[in-house]
Amino acid sequence: MIAYVKGIIEEITEDNVVVEAGGIGYNVKISADTASRLPGTGEPVKLHTYTNVKEDTFQLYGFLAKKDLDIFRQCITVSGIGPKGGLAILSVLDADALRYAIMTGDAKAITKAPGIGARTAERLILDLKGKIQIEDALIEREIADYGAAHTLSVDTPQKKEAVEALMSLGYAQAEAMKAVNAIEGIEEMDSGAVLKAALKKMF
């Protein structure tokens, strides 16, 4: 259907933006997070869109970043979560925060979205946890949150691979990064050796 809408912003509300493109004004449903990050009226914008078509409905849902659209599409595959629910979730959690909540099983964070109860949040986590990949954005989020206090960095491939492996074993991301960064001489080690050394730091 419509992959994106690129044009000039005519009007912005909390949950909708009107974008004029080719002489046509498109009503595009947006999350509160997207609304807060849009440029002002009269400014150009490109929104990646999902088209919801039903017998009596043709509605566009728009996102500034492709990753936001991707996680939205994943959310609405979960039973009990439609486009409205997916947009509600992304109004209280941005794409990276939602991925992190899913990976860590944080149902409480997801239930902050209007209309999303505990059972639905748990179903979302159960359905999507295996489909969510550890991404650089999440590593960077953790570094931003904890870096000043713990001097964390994952600036080499073997560090990142070791952190990912530790997380797959159930360790918290911050804990894994602290262990990896406590290893001496890591530049001369491969990822397997880094993982073994990091595991020793855990005990």
Q: What is the pLDDT of residues 40-72, one digit of tens each?
A: 899 999 999 999 988 778 899 999 988 899 999
Tokens matching residue 58: 């043709």
**Tell me, what DSSP letter sits at residue 113?**
S
pTM of the shown model: 0.65
Q: Is the pLDDT of residue 119 over 90?
A: yes
Residue scoring higher pLDDT (121 or 149): 121
Alpha carbons 176 and 173: distance in angstroms, whole number: 5
Q: Looking at this protein, which amino acid is placed at residue 176?
A: A
Name the pLDDT band for 154 (thresholds 50, 70, 90): low
How does pLDDT run across 28-41, given as a tens digit for each residue? 999 988 998 898 89
Please enumerate in sequence order all residues whose Cβ is within 8 A of that of 154, keeping only pairs 6 or more positions apart, or say none: 139, 143, 160, 163, 177, 180
Report d(CA 75, CA 169) in Å as an integer.
25
Alpha carbon distance 73, 87 (integer Å): 10
- At 38 the three-state DSSP class reads coil
